[in-house]
Structure 1
Amino acid sequence: MNPAYVAFEGEHRIGAGDLPEVARAAKQLLDRRKDAAILVFNGRTSALVDIDFRGSVDDVLARLPRLAPAPGEEPAAPTAPRGPGRPKLGVVAREITLLPRHWDWLAQQKGGASVAIRKLIDEARRSSGDKDRTRSAQDAAYRFMTVMAGNRPNYEDAIRALFAHDRRRFATLIADWPADIRDHAIRLAYSDQAD
């Protein structure tokens, strides 16, 4: 399983874990080396996380973006008035657009439109779960590799091997990359599979 967040300074991984832990490690390095260039990634999606490193470690931690609670964690108490839906259950009302025949079909379903749509989504998630997880892992590896290894030898061929599901060729092509970048790319690309 990938850590929630990962920080790199150049080709070296300097921290991994929850966001405060990673931000603390990054800030401590920046305090020692003002010229350090640090990138923080979401450990599951490889999206870059923007952190304001000005001030003390406590200042940095106080400004961290507020994140959705992890699965099983209690959400923070809402400060604004509640809208439609069942917030305690995680239900949020949003708008969708359907054709009249879709609305007609939904109206005939036991439990109404919301129940029918939730059942359809759950069934689709069950039937395409492996494909979705594989695609998410490939996308995360691609994003990370583009930022951290886009100018490395074999980058383009490695991307082709990644999306061709050729694990052996992928590993061979990136074998000479810096260890932290190589290992993280492999971990991301194949996090959905057992070793």
Structure 2
Amino acid sequence: MAPYVVFEGERRIAAGGKLDVAVAAQARLAEAPEASLLIFDPEGRQVDFDLRGGPWDIALRLGEGDAAPRGRGRPKLGVTAREVTLLPRHWEWLAAQPGGASVALRKLVEAARRDSEGPDRRRAARDAAYRFASVMAGDRPGFEDMSRALFAGDAEGFLARAAEWPTDIADHLRGLAAEAFEP
């Protein structure tokens, strides 16, 4: 998975976890308050962090500092109750399954996730690369050709277009798109 990354213009100034990138952005702004920084998440989305205070304050706001302990119960296991609307014949079938409706639904969801894992991963990588490129290179020559190649699964054309751009942008873009071209 690609890291969080912060760019100043076309130069990557930091990459890593959320907190590392936020602290690096804060340090750069302390050196050059007029600097224009863009931070991207691993999915290629531009994100904003509240950079006020010290690293401890930033960590708490990003959810990476010490937090209050959780209460007892199933949420600690990651279980979330939600409403599902099904037809009566679906409920009847689920009720007849070993372990009941919840177990059957979990098995169905896991099977569907396994079946679609490759296409979903390729689509996510393609979308992340496009989001990042739109912000960082949307006005650069070759952007439309790069986009066509990306969505057509043409790795060679994609790499050729990206190679024409500044090194840091091209490197990060290649990292985001790496899984988009897997078979």
TM-score, scaled to structure 2: 0.88
Deviation sequence 1:113-159 (CA, Å, 0-9, x none):
11111101111111111111111111111111111111111111211
Would you say 1:65 and 2:62 are equivalent positions?
yes
State the distance in 2 between where 1:192 and 1:180 align.
Answer: 19
Deviation of 1:111 after TM superposition, in Å, equals: 0.9
Amino acid in the other structure paired with 1:66 = G
Is the alpha carbon distance of 1:106 and 1:156 closer, same or farther for their aligned partners in structure 2, counting shifts above 3 Å? Answer: same
Structure 1, residues 67-113: CA drift from partner, whole Å, max 9, x if none? 6xxxxxxx9732xx56xx72232111111222222222211211111
1:14 counterpart letter in structure 2: I
Check conservation: 2:154, 2:181, Cα contact below 8 A. Answer: no
Go from structure 1 to structure 2 and tell me whether the alpha carbon gap of 1:192 and 1:167 turns closer, same or farther (over 3 Å shift).
Answer: closer
Deviation at 1:60, TM superposition (A): 5.3
**Contact kept in structure 2, 1:9 and 1:36, CA below 8 Å:** yes
Tell me how far apart the structure 2 counterparts of residues 35 and 193 of structure 1 sit (CA, whole Å): 39
1:4-43 equivalence runs, <5 A: 5-43=4-42
Please give the TM-score of this superposition, normalised by the length of structure 1: 0.83
Task: Give the share of equivalent positions with the same residue, in percent.
Answer: 53
* Runs of 4+ that moved beyond 6 A: none
**Conserved? CA contact 1:9–1:39, under 8 Å:** yes
Q: What residue in structure 1 maps to residue 49 of structure 2?
A: 51
Name the structure where helix makes up a greater proportion of residues: 2
Find 1:143's aligned residue among 131, 135, 140: 131
Q: Go from structure 1 to structure 2 and tell me whether the alpha carbon gap of 1:36 and 1:126 turns closer, same or farther (over 3 Å shift).
A: same
Structure 1 residue corresponding to 2:153, chosen from 162, 165, 170: 165
| Contiguous gaps of at least 5 residues in structure 1 | 68-74
Q: Distance in 1 between matches of 2:163 and 2:180?
A: 21
1:20-41: CA deviation from partner (whole Å, max 9, x where unpaired): 1111111111111111111111
Cα distance in structure 1, aligned partners of 2:160 and 2:15: 25
Q: 1:180 to 1:143 in 2, by over 3 A?
A: same
Partners of 2:5 and 2:40 within 8 A in 1: yes
Give the partner amino acid of 2:78: G
Aligned AA (2:147): I
